[in-house]
Amino acid sequence: AQKVTQAQTEISVVEKEDVTLDCVYETRDTTYYLFWYKQPPSGELVFLIRRNSFDEQNEISGRYSWNFQKSTSSFNFTITASQVVDSAVYFCALSEAGSGGSNYKLTFGKGTLLTVNP
Amino acid sequence: NAGVTQTPKFQVLKTGQSMTLQCAQDMNHEYMSWYRQDPGMGLRLIHYSVGAGITDQGEVPNGYNVSRSTTEDFPLRLLSAAPSQTSVYFCASSYAPRGWGGYTFGSGTRLTVV
């Protein structure tokens, strides 16, 4: 069964600090996809990144970076020089690519509430 | 291009009432699904569809019905609302089954059952 754990329920930082959001996943499939979504106070889900299990390259997009390590089943997300607008709930999610019904399902972690204070 | 459109955005129901949450997408996506979001629980899959005429249950299907008569629409029906169904509901669509196509989410419906 697939599972995503975001151990940090809430994180509070001061603007310009760097912050890392942790994500640990469990899956039996060798092919899977990992996602990060942002949910700002307005409530919509904003797609940030998708990574497949065969691509362990780290990715950087502006102030955002992602560290994917299959050896530790982790897909951590770092915001550099955080800003107040980064305040949101961040979800990590997993989609298995194996056969059967599970490949139509996104399994979400419970989310991490990030508060960036001015 | 509207993406995934959910209506209504807010709804208050009395226990026992029925209603339908609407979801429409204009991207010709085959795969559509409904999730509910509860505090501290993340999002959980209610039902999903892999194409017109084909639906199946997710993790928390009890109390909900779905149908998929067209590619564009995937309504979620509550036949007899209960307070436990108070939640935020998200509809999502994807053009591929295995996640590589990504998922597009609607803006959500906040439902309160009193």
Strands A112-117 and A59-61: unpaired
Tell if the CB–CB gap between B44 and A108 is shorter than 8 Å. Answer: yes
Tell if the CB–CB gap between B97 and A103 is shorter than 8 Å. Answer: yes
Q: Between these two residues, A99 and B93, which has the higher pLDDT value?
A: B93
In tens, the pLDDT along A25-76 reads: 999 888 888 999 999 999 999 989 888 888 888 888 899 999 999 999 999 9
User: What average pLDDT does the structure give for chain A?
Assistant: 91
Q: Between these two residues, A91 and A1, which has the higher pLDDT value?
A: A91
The residue assigned the tokens 């960036």 is: A116
* Chain A environment of B43 (Cβ under 8 Å): 91, 93, 106, 108
* Chain A environment of B31 (Cβ under 8 Å): 104
What is the distance between the alpha carbons of residues B74 and B106, in angstroms, rounded to a whole number? Answer: 12
* Chain B environment of A101 (Cβ under 8 Å): 56
What is the mean predicted confidence (pLDDT) over A107-114?
A: 95
Chain A CB within 8 Å of residue B110 CB: yes
In tens, the pLDDT along A4-16 reads: 999 999 999 999 9
Q: Is the distance from CB of B87 to CB of B78 less than 8 angstroms?
A: no
Q: How many CB atoms lie within 10 A of CB A98?
A: 14
pLDDT, residue A87, reads 97
Q: Is the distance from CB of A115 to CB of A87 less than 8 angstroms?
A: yes
pLDDT, residue A48, reads 92
Q: How many CB atoms lie within 10 A of CB A77?
A: 22
Q: Is the distance from CB of A74 to CB of A23 less than 8 angstroms?
A: yes
Hey, of A27, A75, A106, A110, which one would you mutate to test binding to chain B, going by the most B CBs within 10 A of its CB? A106
What is the distance between the alpha carbons of residues B35 and B58, in angstroms, rounded to a whole number? Answer: 9
